[in-house]
Structure 1
């Protein structure tokens, strides 16, 4: 399945999955590592005419990006939320904002009829697009780091066939070649040292993904959890720790070893979406958002403040910043709403 159609299908279904970055932190914060006394949760709301919203990334200032749209028609609008104000960004419609860095620069995908283009939106509102190189016909951007470099995927209509993940530094686009025996790559996230993580596949339907790390021009496979035959990274921090999913279970990969994070009680599926510089990991277990810290997986839906604020459940957590603020989506008043969950120390 072409990943563009994969993206659109799951975005329309609302309960699905849109790739993001899951990491905007640049420096370790002792605040996040301290004990948490309580939490505060904010419903980020909906753009006018929308019936759902979902948050995908948060920077260290608490600025959030994501999408708000109409579930029946599949119409999507990227959004930027900061200090209580929700705005459409970049404002074209049929776009999704996936990642934001600490300078307030965001990236994502613009989906005009018949194509897709990765966009870079500056804090002042100026927007530029990553144009497909010769032989490519569309691009998307998944993540931006704190030096302004981005990663994404390009779709090609010329030999050698197969989609390619890439690293883009604002001037040069560097394709990431597949692992041995594979045909395609997808670039999902990067850290501030331009270490890129994503996955390589042997066929277009992504049936078996093999996670990799790309650094200094070299691609290295990260392997699978025991008993699994696939791995799909979602985020990487500045220590080079990678998180994602392998064989239906969330993982943490560091120094050549992959660790299973397990599940919340009663669940048989989990995925890790984000990690900060303190090693705190967020994601989804079954249909519940989790925070993994100090070796324990915490059910965020069970926090008293969540229930008191009228949330039925927090469905997934997508990113966590250096202060431990978490974003994602949950069910409130019968529909998905983006949330910002902040620890109080």
Structure 2
């Protein structure tokens, strides 16, 4: 009953054509892999998820969601961070809470609902151990559905007139985003770090909903699949790629993406419906699709292909991954699936492919004190190998990494090696200006760029993460952290996450 009530009250306008796959004996893909791509972490039991509110995660791998409280069976929002589960509580008169999104500041947004009358709901923000009511646009209900890195929040709220409109919450104020021309209904479901917002709106009273993009003060229609009559946008990445679903000419529901004003049908795992729920900066998309037996399976779409995520986990895991809701820049995926006959939240973490990881080229350089070092000398260490020069981008990245070194997030076993394009005097100045931890940082001048050429690291700042076998398991060659395209903070954070992943795998 809980699931159906939440769907009907919160999202009735957008469910007019979406249907669940039929229940029945579950099947797994026939070609399960003996070489899994992901490690599966069980985050615990959850009640049956709604079609539009699933578990979410941030770029560091913290997860938020909701489950029934064991004492009274009311839904309760929670936060899972560094292996610890925290209950977020509720608002006065609104004890039932559903967490919908989380950012790297550990700010969580979602819905607080009245236990007596499920028609009354409030959008909430949880931060600094406290839950806050975000208010509304004049009506009796509302919901917060996504939050970006800056703390800007989107969702929907009822107006005093009774209509429902999308909102953007910024600096303590809620802005009505309106609707598509001639429409009277809208819901905002996703926001990126540039405050581009996506969701659904109609373009005439009682008309079918259409995916929209709100940017620079204007809401625009994202368009339909050929012959289709409605569409739905769930998420948008910082490159402006939008994902969701749309109706086909024959009325089926297919996952799709919108890029450069064009819509792309992502297909299915065998049958309709399929839905794209999340996208990361690398353009990897996750969602769910019916297979040919009409069972719901989680998928990963990359390089133009949709794959069943069940093929990428250990064949004896006991899991059936049903829906994948979010994917972060590290490639971690959160969703729900069947485990031990119950519905649980899962977190997938990519495994480093040891068999294919390239061996880091060995080199020898003299440090600023004149001592000779080779990379092979540090073969038992986790290594963060940076290529820096004296440019502004390298200074920015080095300062960000210095902040990481000063925090408690970097494992003590990780050594920072810096190959510096410049003289020993310039390297000393760089070390002082960026405040890198001198005790845990080895800076090696390379004015002739011999090592940089071997590593093809001519554009800086560049970072390579090496495991204890000195294999390269990560480097910043993706859109989200590419040299001179991403901020120094983004490059440092992604490098830290790669180190943390290696540490977790070792345990």
Q: CA deviation at 1:210?
A: 1.0
1:310 aligns with 2:312: no
Q: TM-score, normalised by structure 1?
A: 0.83
Partner of 1:258: 263
Give distance in 2, aligned partners of 1:131 and 1:2: 22
Question: Which runs of 5 or more residues in structure 1 are unaligned?
Answer: 17-35
Partner of 2:285: 281
CA contact (8 A) 1:51 1:70 kept: no
Matches within 5 A, 1:291-310: 291-305=300-314, 307-310=315-318
Give distance in 1, aligned partners of 2:82 and 2:345: 15
Matches within 5 A, 1:235-250: 235-247=235-247, 248-250=253-255
Matches within 5 A, 1:82-231: 82-91=81-90, 93-112=95-114, 113-114=116-117, 115-122=120-127, 124-133=128-137, 135-158=138-161, 161-201=162-202, 208-231=208-231
Secondary structure at the aligned position of 1:239 is classed as coil
Kindly provide the CA deviation profile for residues 77-120 of structure 1, in whole angstroms up to 9, marking residues without a partner as x: 11111222222224564110000001111100000233111110
* 4+ residue runs over 6 A deviation: 1-4
- Could you tell me which of 5, 8, 14 is aligned with 1:5? 8
Q: CA deviation at 1:204?
A: 8.0
CA contact (8 A) 2:183 2:205 kept: no
Kindly provide the CA deviation profile for residues 29-63 of structure 1, in whole angstroms up to 9, marking residues without a partner as x: xxxxxxx97210011013xxx65678521111110
- Give the structure with the larger helix fraction: 2
Query: Structure 2 vs 1, CA of residues 94 and 85 (structure 1 numbering), >3 Å: closer, same or farther?
Result: same
Q: TM-score, normalised by structure 2?
A: 0.57
Kindly provide the CA deviation profile for residues 129-180 of structure 1, in whole angstroms up to 9, marking residues without a partner as x: 11124x322221000000000001001232xx52100101032211111112
Kindly provide the CA deviation profile for residues 262-308 of structure 1, in whole angstroms up to 9, marking residues without a partner as x: 011x3222100000000000000110000001111110123342x42
CA contact (8 A) 1:179 1:219 kept: yes
Q: CA deviation at 1:215?
A: 1.1
Question: Which runs of 5 or more residues in structure 2 are unaligned?
Answer: 21-34, 248-252, 291-295, 353-507
Q: How many residues align?
A: 311
- Could you tell me which of 310, 320, 323 is aligned with 2:327? 320
CA contact (8 A) 1:263 1:270 kept: yes
CA contact (8 A) 1:55 1:338 kept: no
Bigger Rg, which one: 2
Q: CA deviation at 1:244?
A: 0.1
CA RMSD of aligned residues (A): 2.8
CA contact (8 A) 2:182 2:205 kept: no
